[in-house]
Structure 1
Amino acid sequence: MKILIIGSKGFIGQHLLNFYRLQADKDVWGCDVSAEFEDSKYILMDNSNSDFESIFRSNHFDACINCSGAASVPESLLNPSHDFYLNTFNVFNLLNNIRIFSPSCKFLNLSSAAVYGNPTKLPIAEDASLQPMSPYGYHKVMAENICKEFKEFYNIDACSVRIFSAYGNSLKKQLFWDVYKKSKGSNYIDFFGTGKETRDFIHISDVVQAIDLILQNSAFDVDCYNIANGEEIEIRVAIEQLLYEIGWQGEFKFNNHNRAGDPLYWCADIKKIKDLGYAQEITIKQGLKEYSEWLKELD
């Protein structure tokens, strides 16, 4: 199987690339905007003008996994046009070039739990109403609908994966990176919210496991899949665990102010990926211990 990973320098993309390159039956190509001189199967893209035509005109891929795009709710509020370009327009551009040059290529799109917003009930199943709370969430919904458009009118096989709170080695943004950065050189930390907000955390190795199961087994009939562990964990508990693992001594408090675009409570219904064979391998305690060891290597 010949696989193209768009956004292969990003957090999820690089882990997928490394995973598939260990498999002898996979011919795996990376694609991103950062220069790479040591990888003969890497395609450099222009950051301001993604030329997907040249990729699909010159190569036949059995599957394209789109890990590219912006992944920041606050940034999407500040610069919605940039977020739209990366998370929505690029999906259309990718699918349109697949339609023209490689219509048998399956398209797996990384979406987000942000499409749900604040759910009315937990756990959140894939058929729940979509009520995004940020431009980022809206643009992810649009991208999912573009996948449906290309399936309905052009019979392009596509599916979307709604990833919840992914974390792990090499991630330098979001909650746990923020905790680490704030802990450096300080014995007091202030966080947004109350600490009672919840997330459904999933380690990057389990994200990769779930995506691989979907790539192998999905009908690609514009299916959507939650990628999470079906476990609701309080933000305070997760922060305490990481601070314990990195050996931080101090005091932290929550300011009782929620950031715009941030949901309050998340827990996914993961029956669909469990039916494909998914089983959690890394607990939050194990994952944060591993992440803390990686952080210590940065000091």
Structure 2
Amino acid sequence: MKIVIIGSKGFIGRNVEKYFDEKGYEVWKADVVVDYADTDRYFLIDASNSDYNTVFHYQQYDLCINCSGAASVPDSLKNPMRDYYLNSVNVFKILSAINQFQPNCKFINLGSAAVYGNPKQLPVEEIAQPKPLSPYGFHKLQAEQICQEFYSFFKLKTCSLRIFSVYGVGLQKQLFWDLNQKAKSGDPFTLYGTGNESRDFIHVYDLARAIELVAQSSSFNADIINVGNGEEVSIKDAVSIFFEFFAGDIEYNFSGESREGDPLNWKADISKLKSFGYSSTVNMKQGLQEYYKWLYE
């Protein structure tokens, strides 16, 4: 299978590229990052005016995986236009190029569980009513609708993944990165929320495996698929597990105040993903130990 990964220089993109490369797939890459050392099978995208025609005009692919886009709820509240462009407009541009040059190429868009907002019940199924709490969530929902549009009107083979909380070696933002930054100071610190908020964490290696299974098993009829582990972990327990690897006691507390745009509790129904053969291979303690070693190796 010949694959092109859009957003190959990002945290998820790098890991997905490594996974598929090690599996023996022919992998091409595209991103806005200038990298003179990476010229083999790499397309440089103009960040100021993204154009994907070159990516699809001269090469034929079996599958395009879109790992690009903004991935910050707080930033989407500060810069909603930027978030809209990166998470919605670019998906339209990619699909337009696929439609023009190679309509048989399958397309997987990496979306987000942020489309759910605060689900009425857990585990949340793909059929639950989306209620985003942030521009980021709205724009990820719009990307799903764009995938549906190109499937419905142009018969492109599309699939949207609602990915829950991804972590792993190389991630330089979000919960565990922030915890490390705060812990390094040696001073007591305060975290948002009560600690009883919860997430469904998935290691980036398992995410890459899930993408491969989707590529092999999805009908690509504008499918929507939850990608998580189907396990609810409280933030206070996640913090506690991570800090087990640090020397000495780390003093922190929870403010009790929620941050705008953050959902309260998440747990994915992954019945559909499991039907493709998915099961987790990296438990949270193992994954966070690897992350800690990466931070301090």
Shorter-chain TM-score: which interval?
A: over 0.9
Point out the more displaced range, 38-47 or 99-108: 38-47
Secondary structure of residue in 1 paired with 2:186: coil
Q: Give the structure 2 partner of residue 103 of structure 1.
A: 103
Q: Give the structure 2 partner of residue 116 of structure 1.
A: 116
Q: Give the structure 2 partner of residue 221 of structure 1.
A: 221
Distance 2:287 2:53 in 1: 39
| CA drift at 1:173 | 0.3
CA distances 1:234-287 after superposition (whole Å, capped 9, x unpaired): 101101111111335231101111110000000000111111000111111111
| CA drift at 1:23 | 2.8
Q: Give the structure 1 partner of residue 251 of structure 2.
A: 251
Q: Give the structure 2 partner of residue 178 of structure 1.
A: 178
Q: Give the structure 1 partner of residue 34 of structure 2.
A: 35
Distance 2:222 2:230 in 1: 22
**Correspondence 1:1-299 to 2 at 5 A:** 1-24=1-24, 26-39=25-38, 40-297=40-297
Distance 1:217 1:277 in 2: 9
| CA drift at 1:187 | 3.2
Q: Which amino acid aligns with 2:36?
A: F
| CA drift at 1:197 | 0.3
Distance 1:6 1:248 in 2: 42
Secondary structure of residue in 1 paired with 2:22: coil
Tell me, which stretches of 5 or more residues in structure 2 are unaligned?
none
Point out the more displaced range, 239-248 or 72-81: 239-248
CA distances 1:109-163 after superposition (whole Å, capped 9, x unpaired): 0000000000000000111110000000000000000000000000000001111
Point out the more displaced range, 243-252 or 177-186: 243-252
Distance 2:285 2:88 in 1: 35
Distance 2:49 2:61 in 1: 21
Tell me, which stretches of 5 or more residues in structure 1 are unaligned?
none
Query: TM-score of the superposition, structure 2-length normalised?
Result: 0.98
Distance 1:238 1:244 in 2: 10
CA distances 1:190-242 after superposition (whole Å, capped 9, x unpaired): 10000000000111111111111001111111111111111111101101111
Secondary structure of residue in 1 paired with 2:244: helix
Q: Which amino acid aligns with 2:135?
A: P
Point out the more displaced range, 53-62 or 158-167: 53-62
Distance 2:265 2:21 in 1: 36
Q: Which amino acid aligns with 2:265?
A: Y
Q: 8 Å contact 1:84–1:139 — kept in the other structure?
A: yes
Q: Which amino acid aligns with 1:151?
A: Y
Distance 1:9 1:247 in 2: 33
Distance 1:250 1:168 in 2: 22
Q: Which amino acid aligns with 1:150?
A: F
Query: TM-score of the superposition, structure 1-length normalised?
Result: 0.97
Q: 8 Å contact 2:243–2:250 — kept in the other structure?
A: no
Q: 8 Å contact 1:3–1:28 — kept in the other structure?
A: yes
Distance 1:72 1:111 in 2: 13
Q: 8 Å contact 1:187–1:249 — kept in the other structure?
A: no
State the number of aligned residues.
296
Q: Which amino acid aligns with 2:154?
A: Y
Secondary structure of residue in 2 paired with 1:245: coil
Secondary structure of residue in 1 paired with 2:35: coil
Secondary structure of residue in 2 paired with 1:140: helix
Distance 1:134 1:23 in 2: 37
Secondary structure of residue in 2 paired with 1:21: helix
Q: 8 Å contact 2:19–2:205 — kept in the other structure?
A: no
CA distances 1:67-115 after superposition (whole Å, capped 9, x unpaired): 0000000000000000000000000000011111110010000000000
Secondary structure of residue in 2 paired with 1:225: strand
Q: RMSD between aligned alpha carbons?
A: 0.9
Matched-pair identity in %: 50
Point out the more displaced range, 171-180 or 29-38: 29-38
